[in-house]
Amino acid sequence: MTHTSARPRRATRVVAAAGTAAIASGLLLAGAGSAAAAETADGGSLSWGVKASFRSYIAGPIAHGSITTGGGATTAANGTYAFPATAGTVDGSSVDAAFAGSVHFTGHAGQLDMTLTDLNVVIDGTTGVLYADVDSKSLSSGSLVHYEDVDFAALDLSAVTAQPTADGYSWTAIPTTLTANGVPAFADFYAEGTALDPLSFTLDVAEATDPDPGTDPDPGTDPDPGTPTQAEQDLTVVVPEGTEEPEPGTFGWEVTGDGSAVSLGTAADAGDHLTATGQLAPVVVTDTRSTRSAWSITAQVSDFTAGSTTLAGKHLGWTPRVVTAGGGAVAGAAVTPGLVSGNGLAQTATLGSAPTGHDLGTATLGADLELQLPSDTEAGTYGATLTLTALS
Ligand code: HEM
């Protein structure tokens, strides 16, 4: 008996477009455009180990020292320190976040005494600075020197972009180097440019402040409308509701991940167009029905919108993949973004399927997403919804 029924799942739009919690990394589009509203952090934390070799030196037989955290900072199991966020703003790829707590290093029977407090991360595009108040005993004078709000470490964000989390954003493993102004605090033992530990932080953001993404809330405050602006884009993946653990003899499927928006990263100039790529949140399909009936997972994307600006969904294409083989699953055909011709994923396409008589089992399906946009695309925060449908 073959039994094939269409089972479109009720969809939950997990994250809306502009101005909500799911800002992905900056999408730099040429030309003037409206900047996304700044978002205010109401939580988060910074994780940084300063420099692993310095920590070993302090705790080891040379310095015979100790390390203590205070003021809300804590030491993590891996030896790095966690500082709670006290304030922060995220405005496209500009971030300014302050963190409480301190870490205090001592050694050489008190001759080494260094405290970092008042950490402040400031990011502008692909560069950033970690500012801190530093107190460190001078090796020559033996007295404590206070460095107020010194630019202590340089942050390199050329390969790290904000990733959406359930509550806001995270930046992971940002490479850091010692600045010239940080050198004396380490008694000149490290040269300017010495690699310090990578720094990670999260910021939780409050609900969107823009009540109506269709209108520019206050065009008069656009800080610099004459230059290219940074904006964000999200692709929202619809997570089906009520997907139960598959039992023996059933067909079940679910989108993995935490339901936050899929980031298409930073749109890059590709000559005659802009391109951005990302990964679909993997979809796990289990089919243990003795009927071995055919199944398929299909998808279709909505238009991308940023306020009142719309970009046709056809600009999105993909290359489906079977990430973990099983149950006779095969990947659907690649769909080219419809920049030049075709409908891209605006037209229903197959992510994966299994033919009648397939093996029983579980497969994980994924897809490389590719968005191709005209070079003159207006800057803005673009969001879209990809709706996945199972036929079984
Ligand atoms: C009595 C005073 C001190 C003595 C005898 C001393 C001695 C040493 C020695 C023997 C080393 C190892 C050098 C090597 O392996 O090449 C070292 C490394 C170092 N010292 Fe000191 N030191 C003193 C004070 C300080 C102070 C005040 C600071 C300021 C924070 C400091 C920061 C460092 C740093 C950053 C390193 C390099 C650690 C690493 O990454 O391996 N030292 N020190």
User: Per-residue confidence at 15, pLDDT binned at 50, 70, 90?
Assistant: very low
User: Per-residue confidence at 249, pLDDT binned at 50, 70, 90?
Assistant: confident
17 and 142, same domain (yes or no): no
pLDDT at 46 (0 to 100): 97
Of 39-43, 276-280, 305-309, the range with the lowest mean pLDDT is 305-309
Q: Two tokens at 280?
A: 């679909």
The residues with which 350 forms a beta bridge, in sequence order, are 298
Q: What is the dihedral of CA 217, 218, 219, 223, to 10 degrees?
A: -120
Question: Ligand 1 in contact with 111 (CB < 6 A)?
Answer: yes
201 and 314, same domain (yes or no): no
Question: Ligand 1 in contact with 55 (CB < 6 A)?
Answer: no
pLDDT at 7 (0 to 100): 32
Question: Ligand 1 in contact with 53 (CB < 6 A)?
Answer: yes
Of 205, 240, 258, which residue sits at a domain end? Answer: 205
10 and 90, same domain (yes or no): no
In a domain, 216, yes or no: no
Question: Ligand 1 in contact with 304 (CB < 6 A)?
Answer: no
Q: Two tokens at 252?
A: 């079940």
pLDDT at 222 (0 to 100): 43
Nearest Cα residue to atom 33 of ligand 1: 189
Distance (Å, whole) CA 374 – CA 377: 5
Domain that holds residue 358: 6-32+227-391
Overall number of domains in the chain: 2
15 and 88, same domain (yes or no): no
Compute the C-alpha angle 329/11/388, nearest 5°.
25
Centre of ligand 1 from the C-alpha of residue 189, in Å: 6
In a domain, 1, yes or no: no
Nearest Cα residue to atom 19 of ligand 1: 189
249 and 378, same domain (yes or no): yes
Question: Ligand 1 in contact with 137 (CB < 6 A)?
Answer: yes
Question: Ligand 1 in contact with 108 (CB < 6 A)?
Answer: yes
Tens digit of each residue's pLDDT (9 = 90 or more) over 137-183: 999 999 999 999 999 999 999 999 999 888 899 999 999 999 999 99
The residues with which 317 forms a beta bridge, in sequence order, are 370
Centre of ligand 1 from the C-alpha of residue 172, in Å: 29
pLDDT at 221 (0 to 100): 44
Tens digit of each residue's pLDDT (9 = 90 or more) over 372-387: 999 888 887 778 888 8
- Closest to 207 in 3D by CA, of 12, 380, 16, 44: 16
Of 154, 172, 205, which residue sits at a domain end? Answer: 205
Percent of the chain with pLDDT over 90: 52
Q: What is the mean pLDDT of residues 214-232?
A: 39
In a domain, 263, yes or no: yes
Centre of ligand 1 from the C-alpha of residue 129, in Å: 25
232 and 287, same domain (yes or no): yes
14 and 120, same domain (yes or no): no
Distance (Å, whole) CA 171 – CA 169: 7
pLDDT at 384 (0 to 100): 84
Q: Ramachandran region of residue 118, left (φ > 0), alpha (ψ -120 to 50) or beta? A: left
Question: Ligand 1 in contact with 186 (CB < 6 A)?
Answer: yes
pLDDT at 259 (0 to 100): 59
Q: Which amino acid is at 138?
A: S
Tens digit of each residue's pLDDT (9 = 90 or more) over 171-183: 999 999 999 999 9
196 and 234, same domain (yes or no): no
In a domain, 318, yes or no: yes
Question: Ligand 1 in contact with 57 (CB < 6 A)?
Answer: yes
314 and 241, same domain (yes or no): yes
Nearest Cα residue to atom 16 of ligand 1: 189
Answer whether residue 214 shows pLDDT above 80. no
Q: What is the mean pLDDT of residues 229-238?
A: 47
Cβ(285)–Cβ(327) below 8 Å? yes
Distance (Å, whole) CA 139 – CA 352: 65
Distance (Å, whole) CA 251 – CA 286: 6
Question: Ligand 1 in contact with 347 (CB < 6 A)?
Answer: no
Centre of ligand 1 from the C-alpha of residue 33, in Å: 51
In a domain, 210, yes or no: no
103 and 75, same domain (yes or no): yes
CA atoms within 13 A on the CB side of 145: 18
Nearest Cα residue to atom 8 of ligand 1: 62
199 and 299, same domain (yes or no): no
Distance (Å, whole) CA 369 – CA 235: 10
pLDDT at 236 (0 to 100): 56
Centre of ligand 1 from the C-alpha of residue 132, in Å: 21
Q: Two tokens at 79?
A: 């030896």
Centre of ligand 1 from the C-alpha of residue 107, in Å: 9
When the pLDDT of each residue in the chain is averaged and rounded to a whole number, the result is: 81
Percent of the chain with pLDDT over 70: 78
In a domain, 247, yes or no: yes
CA atoms within 13 A on the CB side of 70: 7
| Residues 207-216: b if buried by 16+ CB within 10 A, e if exposed | ebebeebeeb
Q: Two tokens at 55?
A: 């920590």
Tens digit of each residue's pLDDT (9 = 90 or more) over 78-114: 999 999 999 999 998 899 999 999 999 999 999 999 9
187 and 239, same domain (yes or no): no
| Contact residues for 75 (Cβ-Cβ < 8 A; gap 6+) | 67, 69, 81, 82
Answer whether residue 60 shows pLDDT above 60. yes
